[in-house]
Amino acid sequence: MAPTTTVLLGALLLASSSVNAQQAKLQVNLNSAESIKSAAKIVAKNLYSYYHGNEPGQTPGILPGPPPGGPYYWWQAGAMWGTYIDYWFYTGDDTYNAETTRSLLFQAEPPANAYMPKNWTASLGNDDQGFWGMAAMLAAEVNFPNPPKDQPQWLALAQAVFNTQAPRWETEYCAGGLRWQVVSTNGGYDYKNTIANAVFMNIAARLARYTNNDTYALWATKAWDWIEAMGYVTDKYDVLDGAHIGHNCTDLNPVQFSANAAMLIHATAVMYNYTTGETRAKWRRHVAGLLNHTIDHFFPEGIMVERACELEDRVQCNTDQHSFKGYMHRALATVAVLAPFTYETITKTLRSSTEGCVSSCLADGTCGFRWNTGEYDGDTAAGPAGQEMSALAALSTMLLEQEKVLKGPLTNTTGGTSQGDPNAGQKFEGVSPPREITAGDRAGAGILTAVVLASFLGSLVWMGMGWSEK
């Protein structure tokens, strides 16, 4: 064989092997805990490559953004650290613990330590603040290593978020509820949406269970009753996105995002676990209703699809929405433990969905957004961190059948060690219990269900605006 032919053949073989290596699939045996941990470790490393807050001159705790400086808003980094806390809890890998702690403390911002940093005022939503608060709450529930004693503690950080949000509950418009945005000059301040109120309910319910304090439970119930009375959750357990105060919250936006459903099903399962008797029966009914609809709507053929924007012929999901699948997988895993009557259904669903997720991942841990095509979709236009967060969550929750996980989230009487501060984030002492929703409140919000006719056009406009994009 001539030398030039040999060189050419070698180059072709090298190029071929390079292509094959790039397209090789992530190998995971979902029946093997060690195989799952190994794959999750690869994906965790890939996700971390999009974070630069640990580099000189960069801001600790945040992903690159907001646009045009990068694709990510502040809240998504809070969700990412929550994903890493769960990753540590399920796998035992503490590689990212130090940076997780550093980030959650840095972004809390003293003196309030309530996750309302001044640098993010222009895009600060109640839901944004709440995602950081939920990460801190999770840290308390799984005994994530506590911060130094001279720093704010996980439970106190979650309480600070609650204490700053509860006073924002207003009855002047729509008979209650939190607005989407915290600051009146932000776009979306006139919108009372499900995610802001669902996250508030989520934190309140978990604080009630962790501290055994019924004041938090009253607020969680208040939030659910309002969401239900306003028609944001229908009698069929469709979870709609929200409405505007200019219409007394009757212009319901019928778009269904999985993040809204995930926060609510998690919160209702916490309340089911926390309560007894007839009250528990009420929450069981809501857990079951939300779960049945969630599986029917978001898991067609057993694999998760973000149906509001992940269409058969195209994907029009924004950067935020690319991360939603992970929140649903993580929420359902916790629901399975808190409400054992859901366990069999949820574990079966999570497994089939994770199988789809794994089929979208390459050997280097790069994972796609579409999980139902059997291959990597190459979808990186909206920023790939969301896809990696979702894949890491799916893999981590495959380790659900561990004794420490099945015991359920910890409380301060079952081994939780995080120290709280009931007055965190506030100058005044504590928060008063809420007024119960009255028949008048329900009547004031009762005209709602008749007003869905103009919603379709509104939903189209909303889809163009994006979710949590300010």
Is 140 part of any domain?
yes
pLDDT of residue 383: 86
Contact 386, 323 (CB under 8 A): yes
pLDDT of residue 378: 94
Of 340, 252, 365, 261, whose CA–CA distance to 305 is shortest?
A: 261
Contact 254, 459 (CB under 8 A): yes
Which tokens belong to 382?
A: 């909206």
pLDDT of residue 22: 52
Is 19 part of any domain?
no
- Cα distances from 372 to residues 22, 81, 297, 356, 429, in angstroms, run 20, 27, 15, 6, 51
Of 200, 188, 169, 199, whose CA–CA distance to 246 is shortest?
A: 188
pLDDT of residue 427: 52
Is 29 part of any domain?
no
CB neighbours of 75 closer than 8 A, spacing ≥ 6?
Answer: 125, 127, 128, 129, 131, 132, 468
Of 111, 264, 126, whose CA–CA distance to 191 is shortest?
A: 126
Is 23 part of any domain?
no
**Total domains in the fold of the chain:** 1
Is 284 part of any domain?
yes
CB neighbours of 98 closer than 8 A, spacing ≥ 6?
Answer: none
CATH number at residue 444: 1.50.10.20
Is 255 part of any domain?
yes
**What type of residue sits at position 326?**
G
In the block, which residue shows the tokens 């808003």? 73
Q: Is the Cα dihedral 367, 238, 82, 411 positive or negative?
A: negative
Using only C-alpha atoms, what is the Rg of the chain? 22
Is 309 part of any domain?
yes
Look at residue 244 and give its three-state secondary structure.
strand
Question: Which domain does 215 fall in, by range?
Answer: 35-465
Which tokens belong to 268?
A: 């209702």
Contact 249, 173 (CB under 8 A): yes
Burial category of 243 from C-beta neighbours within 10 Å (exposed 0-12, middle 13-18, buried 19 and up):
buried
Q: For each of the chain's 470 residues, which pLDDT tens digit applies?
A: 444 444 444 443 333 333 344 579 999 999 999 999 999 999 999 999 999 999 999 999 999 999 999 999 999 999 999 999 999 999 999 999 999 999 999 999 999 999 999 999 999 999 999 999 999 999 999 999 999 999 999 999 999 999 999 999 999 999 999 999 999 999 999 999 999 999 999 999 999 999 999 999 999 999 999 999 999 999 999 999 999 999 999 999 999 999 999 999 999 999 999 999 999 999 999 999 999 999 999 999 999 999 999 999 999 999 999 999 999 999 999 999 999 999 999 999 999 999 999 999 999 999 999 999 999 999 988 889 999 999 999 999 999 999 999 999 999 999 999 999 999 998 533 444 454 545 554 454 444 434 433 443 444 344 334 444 44
d(CA 75, CA 320): 9
Is 245 part of any domain?
yes
Contact 115, 132 (CB under 8 A): yes
Contact 383, 315 (CB under 8 A): no
